[in-house]
Amino acid sequence: MALQRRAVDQPAPLYLQACPGAGKTRVIVERHIVGGRPSGRSGRALVSFTNVACDEIHQRCRAAGYPDLLAFPNFVGTIDTFIWRYLVRPFIPQDRHRHRIDSWDRINATITVQGSREYRIRLSDFQFHRNSPGGDCEARLQRTTRNYAMFKALELESLIRHAEEAAVEARDNFGKQGYVTGHEIRILALHALRSHGPTMATMLRGRFDELIVDEAQDCSNLDLAILGQLRDAGLPLVFVCDPDQAIYEFRGARPGEVRAFGATLGTRIDLTGNWRSSSAVCGLAASLRPADSDREVDDPIGTHHDEPAGILLLRTKKTDVERALAIFTTYADRMGIPIESRLVLAHAGGKLPKRPHPQVVLPVPPTLCGSLGQHASSQSRITRAASVNGPTRCWNEPSCVTGTPVPTGAALRPSATNWGSRRRHCAPPPHGLRLHYPTWTKGHSGTGVLRPTRHSSATRRNRGSRERAKRASSAPLAKRGKALLGRPGES
C-alpha cells in the first residue's frame, strides 16, 4: 500500500512498472481523482491501447462519484484517438482529406497475387512497420486462423515476399486516396511534431498537465518516437507498464525498448505486490521471464497468498477436454476446493466436442467461462447450462414447484425428447437431462433457460399433420353451417 500511495502522489515524469495484479488501474484512477479538478482549462490525458481498458477507467471514476473527471478538459480514451485528435487532425492541410478507419477491412481492402491460382488476401492480414521512424515501410503477412490455408499455399509457391511487396504498394495507394489506419496516423503525427514542434508543444502543455500512458508495454517504435517528442517538448509523462503482459507484440511492440524509454523519465516506482496470485503462480511467472527483465519475484499479498496448491499442468488435445476436466475435478476434490469456487476458462475460439457422446458425464464446476457464443457447439451449450444452473429446481421460473433438482455432474443424455417445449421449463427427472437441439437463452427471471432451436423431422411431420387435419375438419363445418342456415327469404 505504501508503494501505491507513493505512485499516486509522485509528480510526473514517472515510470511505473507493475506486476500482474498490482492494482495499477486503481493507482491510475486514484491519481486522477486525487489530482482534483484541474485549474483553468488544463486537464489530464489518460490513454490506453484498448477500449476495454478505457471503459474500466470510465467505470471506476463513475463508481467513485467523479464522472466529471471524464469530461473536458480531461481526456480518457485510446492512444489512437489521442494521436488523431490532438496531433494529426489540427494540422491536416485544408486541401487534403483524411479518412480515419480502424481497420482495412472497413473498406474491404485486398490485394491479388497470381500463382497456380489467383490469391486474394486482405490487407488487414499484413502487419506494417518501420525498423526506424524514418525508415521505409515494410509488411509482414500474419498467419492467422482465417488465412492459414492461403498462407501455407503462398509459402509452398514462394509467394510470401511478393505478397508483402504488393501489400506495401496497395497501402500507399490507399493512403494517396486519404485513408489512414493507426499505423498511418502515427507517421503523420511524427511528421507534424517535427514540422510544428514549438506550436504543438505550447498547445499540449496548455491543454494537459500530464499524460498517463496505461499498458505502455504495447508501445511500438512509432509510439515511443511520438512519446519521446512529447517528453522533449515538456509534456509530463506517466509511463505505466508491465512488460510481462505485452499482448500487442505482433504490432511491433518492443518490451526491451519500452523499459529503456521508461528509464529516461527519471523517477521509477516498482509495484511488486500481487493481490491476485498465490506464491506458486508468482514463482512460476518469475521463472519464465527473460534474464534481462530486471524483475524480482512478485510478492503475493492477496487473500490467497499462502494457498498451498501447486501448479497442475495437463497435456491434452483440443478434442480431449473430458479427461482434463475429470483430472481437474479430482484434484480440486482432493484439495477441498468447493464446487462454487472452481473456474474453467476457455481460450478465445476454443470449442468443446461438436458431437456429444451417447452419455457424457460432466464433472465440471458451476462456472464455465470462455468462447461459448452463438456459434458454440450443442455440447458446450449443454455444459454451460448444466454448470451455471447447478442444483436449481427450475430452469426458468423459481416459483415452479413441480421441477426436480438437477444434481451437479448429472449425466446428460441428448435424445429426441422435446423437453424444452414444456410450458414451465422444469428440470428433468433426476436420472438425467434429456434435450433435443438445445440452445442457451435467458428467461424472464434472469436465469438460464434451455429451449430447442428446432424440432425433429418426425415432430414437424406430426405437427403439420395435426394442423392440416384441424383445417380440414373446420372448413366443412363452416360450409355446412351456411347450408343449414340458408339464405334470407329461403324456406
Mean pLDDT, all residues of the chain = 74
Position 258 scores a pLDDT of 87
- DSSP-derived letter for residue 488 is T
Q: What share of the chain is helix, strand, coil (3-state, %, to 5)?
A: 45, 15, 40
Q: Where are the domains of the chain?
A: 2-91+185-271, 103-179, 321-452
Q: Please state the rounded mean pLDDT for residues 383-390.
A: 34
The answer to whether the Cα torsion of 442, 448, 454, 458 is positive or negative is negative
Confidence class for position 8, pLDDT limits 50, 70, 90: very high
Position 227 scores a pLDDT of 95
Of residues 418 and 50, more confidence is placed in: 50
Contact 303, 329 (CB under 8 A): no
Q: Residue 391: how many CB atoms within 10 A of its CB?
A: 12
Of residues 431 and 188, more confidence is placed in: 188
Phi-psi region of 489 (alpha: psi -120 to 50; beta: other; left: phi over 0): left
Confidence class for position 133, pLDDT limits 50, 70, 90: low
Nearest to 43 by CA among 204, 240, 238: 204
Note the pLDDT tens digit of each residue in 77-106: 999 999 999 999 999 988 888 999 989 999
Position 482 scores a pLDDT of 38
Nearest to 211 by CA among 16, 75, 51, 64: 75
CA distances from 462 to 12, 197, 205 (A): 75, 78, 76
Note the pLDDT tens digit of each residue in 304-359: 788 777 788 887 776 677 888 888 889 889 888 888 888 877 665 555 544 444 33
Angle, helices 197-207/182-195, rounded to nearest 10 degrees: 110
Of residues 462 and 368, more confidence is placed in: 462
Position 274 scores a pLDDT of 87
CA distances from 335 to 277, 341, 468 (A): 17, 12, 61
pLDDT of 122 above 60: yes
Of residues 255 and 169, more confidence is placed in: 169
Domain 2-91+185-271 annotated CATH 3.40.50.300: yes
Tell me which of 21-25, 199-203, 418-422 is least confident: 418-422
Of residues 224 and 452, more confidence is placed in: 224
Collapse the DSSP code of 182 into the 3-class scheme (helix H, G, I; strand E, B; otherwise coil) and give the result: helix
Specify the DSSP element, H or E, that contains 386: helix 378-389
Confidence class for position 486, pLDDT limits 50, 70, 90: very low
Whole-number Å distance between alpha carbons of 72 and 157:
55
Whole-number Å distance between alpha carbons of 268 and 121:
45
Q: What angle do CA 20, 21, 23 make, to 5 degrees?
A: 115
- DSSP-derived letter for residue 354 is S
- DSSP-derived letter for residue 211 is E
Of residues 429 and 161, more confidence is placed in: 161
